[in-house]
Structure 1
Amino acid sequence: MTPRRIAVVGSGALARALGHSLAAFAPSHPAGRPDVPVTVTLLARDGAAVAELARSCRARAAVSGNPVSFTAEPLTDEVETLDRLRPDVLVCCASAQSPYERVTAPSAWTRLIAEAGFGVTLPLQATLAVRLARAVARVNPGTRFVNGAFPDMVNPLLVALDLPVLCGIGNVSTLAACLRASLNLAPGDRLAMLGHHVHLVAPTDPGDEVRAWSNGTPVTGVTALLAADRALPRGELNAIGGHAAARLLLDLVTGAEIRANLPGPMGLPGGYPVRISAGTIVLDLPAGITRTAAVDWNLRVGRRDGVQVVDGRIEYSPAAAAAIADHLPDIADGWTPSALDQVTEELTALRGRLRLAPPAPAPARLA
């Protein structure tokens, strides 16, 4: 029997969390369908790193009695690799900009990100995802592409570039998992959530908080319910996101019907409740919430990230534009997706310069 194939690109924290959880979960097979073997291929520029991860995953799968198998290989040519592997699902778990740099290597670059918003890194987040989506479109349009690199904003950019993407992982999925646990929901209970990447941190305005419904009833006190989870180290939240992603990917390749909360479905900005059946994804919004209202809400709350992809154009918030204008005035007023490669080149050069400078000291506070 032909195995279902999942290809995971990346060797960092998210890829490791995803691989370990894929090793722990047994695939769920819909009633009336035969069990189908699942093979996971781990891909990255660092072949030694993914070989090590695959070995770890095989050992974990053996302990779990899990039939999922793991292989690894270096990724040197996306087109050749995807043409040869032809995965059912391809997931991107890497980008050219680490979200942890502000902690591990603070500099004038990370200070700029803090001032402008995480969205200033959009071109760097999108670099690998764009290459992978282009490869899928070229050699295997049947592959479902799932993006884990800033999907709330990168996925709308992919659609603006007329590139394929099914959905994202992390962010709203992570928050939904945490809220399910806080509410002590049973497996059959429905949780619908509107949430954005910015909600990994509690908003200052309570009116901008995550919106959630449990079995159709609005959930109140979301900030308090998520407070302890938001206080977890970012690595722990990353692991939760990887765990939720593993269940999603296995259900995708085995054909199970999926109800979940996902970022960037169909290239929309932010995160939404969705239903996936036979590979087709649709929004699964609570009664009374229209698609237009849900998208507008995500656009509004997502402004804290400093960037939006609207009507095929990348626009910065006033604060982000002012911060960027000091360094790259030619892009501060926004840019079109066709300029992505040029903007990425300019931003990469700026990052190289600013990484050599220490972060400016924080302004003194009045006593």
Structure 2
Amino acid sequence: MLILGQGVLGGDVLDFLLQSDTRLALVVGVRNPEKALHRVNLARYTAMNLGRSKPVEIEAIDLMDIDATAAAIDRLKPDIIFNAATLHSWWVITKLPTEAFKRLDEARGGIWTPMHQVLVRRLMKSVRMANSRATVVNASYPDVVNATLAAEGLAPAVGIGNIANAVPGIRLAAAHMLSLDPSSIEVRFFAQHYLSYRMPSTGGTDGAPYHLTIYANGLEVPRSEIDHDVLFSLVAGRFRRLKGLAGQSVTASSATAMLLALANRSGQVVHAPGPLGLVGGYPVRVSPTGLLIDLPGKLTLEDAIDINRQCQRFDGIDSVDDDGTVRFTGRSAEVLRDVLGYDCEAYGPEDCEGRAEELAAHFANYARKYGMEVATAA
């Protein structure tokens, strides 16, 4: 398994993988191996304290260099590649003063799509160049990015986090309502990033569409027996968790669950965004022969996709066209203009690097007004 990036998420995932009992040969790919060594050693120390000891190699890999990355992939021949690199980590804007953050956050998460797209797009070009059969798992806004890349034949196999982060809270709340142990509860949840981010914070959906089927001891629980409004209020209330960087372990553990499911291929169902180049989030069955969307009996794949297409508008994405063009909603484009002074209503995949550079410059100027210096890094 090749892990690309040793920022907050990449480091946390490495911790969990080293502490697991699955046999893995791990390689960490980073731009600065000397800087990464200390983080890798921290992960190994922690795992050894828990009785686990797996070797970890460190490789110098710069995702912006497509040819060199392809050569490294060809030499390493990974079975699984996990991309934890982005030009814009989600938590950066949360460091703004509260009012400045709120003004910008009205545009929702979709506006940062080009900055999330650049590195994984180059990675996928390297994967294709190397004729690699590796399963690529993308952590960089996969709800939208994977779909834009699909138009170019560059879609990663699946994403991580987002919808998966909401599932534990739903299971805990459902178990509480049904007076059962959480281990007896399973769910099949379909929703885009916006809802999986918003609902655990507010206890509501703000009207964003979703589909949720709950099972208790293998049997479907009728909707009449479990009120979703009460369920969601419990997720944001009694079962509310720490968020922000302090809650990053939830994303890292959901990523680890997907990576281990891919390593083991035992038919496990793991919730994930962007599977098979689709927009939004789905339950995914990781079978020995590939990935399958695990649909409840009354939901078609077309309906599930439509739910996610509608839901993504709440995240600032009006549509992802068949050619990969990303179109922002009118409100999100308006916030970009009014708050950042940046005009962008839509862009094609080939324009993502130029758009990312422009967006980064406008955000840096905005942040500087509030005494915050921004350094973009993979």
Distance 1:126 1:153 in 2: 9
What residue in structure 1 maps to residue 214 of structure 2?
214
Quote the residue 2:4 is aligned against: 9
1:252–1:279 Cα contact (<8 Å) kept: no
1:239 pairs with one of 249, 270, 273:
249
Please give the alpha-carbon distance, in whole angstroms, between the structure 1 residues aligned to 2:102 and 2:168.
31
Aligned-residue offset at 1:336: 2.1
Which of 193, 198, 202 aligns to 1:201? It is: 198
Question: The residue matched to 1:190 in structure 2 has which SS?
Answer: strand
State the distance in 2 between where 1:110 and 1:79 align. Answer: 38
The SS at the match of 2:306 is helix
Cα distance in 2 for partners of 1:108, 1:73 equals 41
Alignment of 1:120-159 (within 5 A): 120-159=111-150
Rounded to whole Å, the distance in 2 between the matches of 1:316 and 1:13 is 28
- Tell me if 1:23 matches 2:18: yes
Task: Give the CA deviation at 1:276.
Answer: 1.7
Check the 8 A contact 1:261/1:272 in 2, yes or no. yes
Structure 1 position 225 matched with structure 2 position 234: yes
- DSSP-derived class of the 1:201 partner: helix
The structure-2 alpha-carbon separation of the partners of 1:311 and 1:161, relative to structure 1 and needing over 3 Å to count, comes to: same
Superposition pairs for residues 26-37 of structure 1, below 5 Å? 26-27=21-22, 37=23
Asked if the contact 1:161–1:338 (Cα under 8 Å) also holds between the matched residues in 2, the reply is: no
| Residue 270 to residue 230, structure 1, CA distance change in 2 (3 Å) | farther
Change (3 A) 1:91 1:224: same
Q: How many residues align?
A: 343
**Residue deviations 1:220-252 (CA, integer Å, cap 9, x gap):** 333123214555222243211211221321231
Are 1:289 and 2:299 counterparts? yes
SS at match of 2:347: coil
Give the TM-score of the pair, scaled to structure 1: 0.84
* 1:158 CA drift (Å): 1.4
Cα deviations by residue, 1:143-200 (Å, 9 ceiling, x for unpaired): 1110001111111111122203111011111111332344445557532111221121
Is the Cα contact below 8 Å between 1:26 and 1:67 reproduced in 2?
no
Distance in 2 (CA, whole Å) between partners of 1:338 and 1:151 is 18
Residue type of the alignment partner of 2:307: W
Aligned equivalent of 1:311:
322
Structure 2 CA distance for partners of 1:186 and 1:201, relative to 1, 3 Å: closer
Distance 1:187 1:230, change over 3 A: closer
Q: Give the Cα–Cα distance (whole angstroms) in 2 for the partners of residues 187 and 263 of structure 1.
A: 23
Equivalent residues of 1:113, 1:120 under 8 A apart: no
* 1:265 and 2:275 are equivalent in the alignment: yes
| Percent of pairs with identical residues | 24
Contact 1:155 1:267 in 2 (8 A): yes
Contact 1:108/1:355, CA 8 A, preserved across alignment: no
Q: How does 1:1-367 map to 2 (within 5 A)?
A: 6-27=1-22, 37-66=23-52, 68-76=54-62, 77-106=68-97, 113-184=104-175, 187=183, 189-199=185-195, 200-202=197-199, 205=205, 207-208=207-208, 210-215=210-215, 216-217=220-221, 218=223, 220=228, 221-228=230-237, 231-307=241-317, 308-312=319-323, 313-325=325-337, 327-329=341-343, 331-332=344-345, 334-358=346-370
Shift of 1:212: 2.2
**What letter corresponds to residue 232 of structure 2 in structure 1?**
T
Give the whole-Å Cα distance in 2 for the aligned partners of 1:150 and 1:248.
16
Residue 242 of structure 1 aligns with an amino acid whose one-letter code is: A
How well do the aligned residues superpose, as a CA RMSD in angstroms?
A: 2.6
Distance (whole Å) between structure 2 residues aligned to residue 244 and residue 67 of structure 1: 22
Q: Deviations over 1:291-334 (max 9, x none)?
A: 111111112122122123133321111101223345343x32x2
Relative distance call for 1:264 and 1:249 in structure 2 (3 A) is same
For residue 58 of structure 1, report the CA deviation from its aligned partner.
1.9
Pair 1:181–1:21, CA change in 2 (3 A): farther
Change (3 A) 1:10 1:248: same
1:161 is paired with a residue of what secondary structure?
Answer: coil
Calculate the TM-score normalised by the size of structure 2. Answer: 0.82
Q: Is the 8 A contact 1:171 1:263 kept in 2?
A: yes
Q: Quick check: 2:170–2:232 contact (8 Å CA) kept in 1?
A: no
